Amino acid sequence: MSNYNFDKAINRFKTDSIRWDQYDSSVIPLWVADMDFESPPCVLNAMKNRVKHGIFGYTHAPNNFKENIADYVKKHYDWEVDTDWIVVIPSIVSALYSIGISCTKSTSHIITPQPIYHHLKLAAAESGRNYNEARLETIANRQILSPESINKVIKKNSELLYFCNPHNPGGTVYTKNELVQIVDFCNENNLLICSDEIHCGMVLDGHKHIPIASISEAAANRTITLMSLNKTFNFPGAGLGWMICKNPRLRKIASHKIGSLIPHPEIFGYVATDAAIKNGEDWRLALLDYLSQNRNLLMERINQIPGLRIYDIEASYLGWISCENLPAKNPHQLFLNHGVAVQPGHMFNQPNHIRINIATTHSLLKKALDRIEKAVKSI
Ligand SMILES: Cc1ncc(COP(=O)(O)O)c(C=O)c1O
């Protein structure tokens, strides 16, 4: 029995939640990636204590912040990083965009996976560089980026690969062997890697997150890793993350815009992250258990619905569902008409798919799955 009550239904309507305020209250919103669970008590208490002080001036990092991040990364991912390699940032998304511009020449070419969390594609598109999307391969019901898929789109002037592990959408957790192959390819083709690992704190049963930069010295020297506890501990509205980059030259250019175009993190990002690092582990393990149960329920139910097919979810809470065999032109609209808002596949350049966020109570997820089943039956 968990000490935390993830079944507690908290009304999020009219709380200025992007996810919950978009539709009327008859719709179950399972689109934007945040969770319907309270942050851990350690985070809530730290926030409350900070609010009690009543003054929210310009704020620097808490004592030993980078040391604590380095210890966390060592403990969880067996990766020894120097505090000098760490650069604290307010958001992963802004780093994705600034890295595309700062770390490549204007004449360079960028490669980004497809399907992918839309900001990895937009960061490539808005860099002003030419870019191509490398299609993920489906192997044993897992979607992975392989050297072959990158090779299909690589150009002579390719300089940067955007990479996402665990992957969004879908939640593939790359194995060591898969990462080694990507690193070898990037070494051979002199590609920098910008690795978005924001979902790494929610790796489910039996899988293990391996930061791509930890694969080898060569990988560390060409990689900028992006991590954050926002997702895992559910405070993305109080954002904070960090880059890890061993290569001092690369680190300098990757962090060029921090403190100017990219602001430093705000006070509650520091407070929440500091508390979660120090005291959040018990809650995180309970969360993983709850999410695994939702994942099992989702897989079981979706696989019974004709026309739908779901890829394996090895991490996090974002299921990627193929509707290719569903006789419906717009699956997102079909499900919305039946009271469930999922993320439309066109956000990931695959309109015949949908992404579903299962970070909600078991009972709300069951209700949403009943509606999805009914929607398909109605065709
Ligand atoms: C892969 C990925 N990267 C980044 C983000 C957002 O990061 P941030 O809120 O720190 O900008 C998300 C949010 O869903 C995500 O899924």
Same domain, 293 and 260: no
Work out which ligand 1 atom sits closest to the CA atom of 168.
Answer: 1
Q: What is the model's pLDDT at position 1?
A: 59
What is the atom index within ligand 1 of the atom nearest the CA of 33? 14
pLDDT attached to residue 206: 87
Ligand 1 pocket mutation pick from 19, 163, 168, 348 by most atoms within 8 angstroms of CB: 168
- Choose which residue among 92, 112, 317, 318 to substitute to test ligand 1 binding: the one with the highest number of ligand atoms within 8 A of its C-beta: 92
Give the helix ranges, DSSP H, for 54-102: 65-77, 92-102
Phi-psi category of residue 257: left, alpha or beta, with phi > 0 → left and psi -120 to 50 → alpha: alpha
In a domain, 7, yes or no: no
Under-70 pLDDT residues of the chain: 1
CATH number (domain holding residue 206): 3.40.640.10
Residue 57 included in any domain: no
CA of 18 to the centre of ligand 1 (A): 14
Query: Residue of the nearest CA to atom 14 in ligand 1?
Result: 33
Verify that 218 and 305 share a domain, yes or no.
Answer: no
197 and 310, same domain (yes or no): no
Convert the pLDDT of each residue in 359-371 to its tens digit.
999 999 999 999 9
In a domain, 47, yes or no: no
Cα of 305 from ligand 1 centre, angstroms: 30
CATH at 342: 3.90.1150.10
- Compute the distance between CA of residue 203 and CA of residue 316 in angstroms, rounded to an integer: 6
Range of the domain at 148: 65-279
Is 120 within 8 Å of 113 (Cβ atoms)?
A: yes
250 & 112 share domain: yes
- Any residues with Cβ below 6 Å from ligand 1, and which? 33, 91-93, 117, 164, 168, 196, 198, 228, 230, 236, 239, 241
For residue 123, the CA-to-ligand 1 centroid distance in Å is 12
Whether 240 is in a domain gets the answer: yes
- Within this chain, do residues 108 and 249 fall inside the same structural domain, yes or no? yes
Do 228 and 107 share a structural domain?
A: yes
Is residue 115 within 8 Å of residue 324, measured between CB atoms? no
Residues 125 and 222 in one domain: yes
Q: 53 C-alpha vs ligand 1 centroid, how far in Å?
A: 30
Residue 210 lies in a domain: yes
Measured CA angle at 199 (ends 253, 303), to 5 deg: 140
One domain, residues 70 and 184: yes
**HSE-CB for 201 with a 13 A CA cutoff:** 24
Q: What is the pLDDT of residue 39?
A: 97
- 181 located within any domain: yes
Q: Which amino acid is at 224?
A: I
Q: Check whether residue 297 and residue 323 sit in a common domain.
A: yes
Q: Are residues 173 and 285 in the same domain?
A: no
Structural domain count of the chain: 2
Phi, psi of 223 (to 5 degrees): -120, 140
Q: How confident is the model at residue 2, as a pLDDT?
A: 79
Domain boundary among 279, 297, 330: 279
Of 178, 102, 110, 106, the residue nearest 140 (C-alpha) = 178
Q: Which of 235, 257, 279 is the last residue of a domain?
A: 279
> CA separation (Å) from 358 to 58, 84, 116, 174, 232?
36, 37, 18, 21, 14
**pTM (whole model) above 0.95:** yes
Q: Within this chain, do residues 132 and 248 fall inside the same structural domain, yes or no?
A: yes
Structural contact between residues 332 and 354, judged by C-beta atoms closer than 8 angstroms:
yes
Both 127 and 272 in one domain: the answer is: yes
121 CA distance to ligand 1 centroid (A)?
13
CA of 377 to the centre of ligand 1 (A): 34
- Within a domain: residue 2? no
State the Cα–Cα distance between residues 68 and 278, nearest whole angstrom.
8
Which of 243, 260, 279 is a domain's end point? Answer: 279
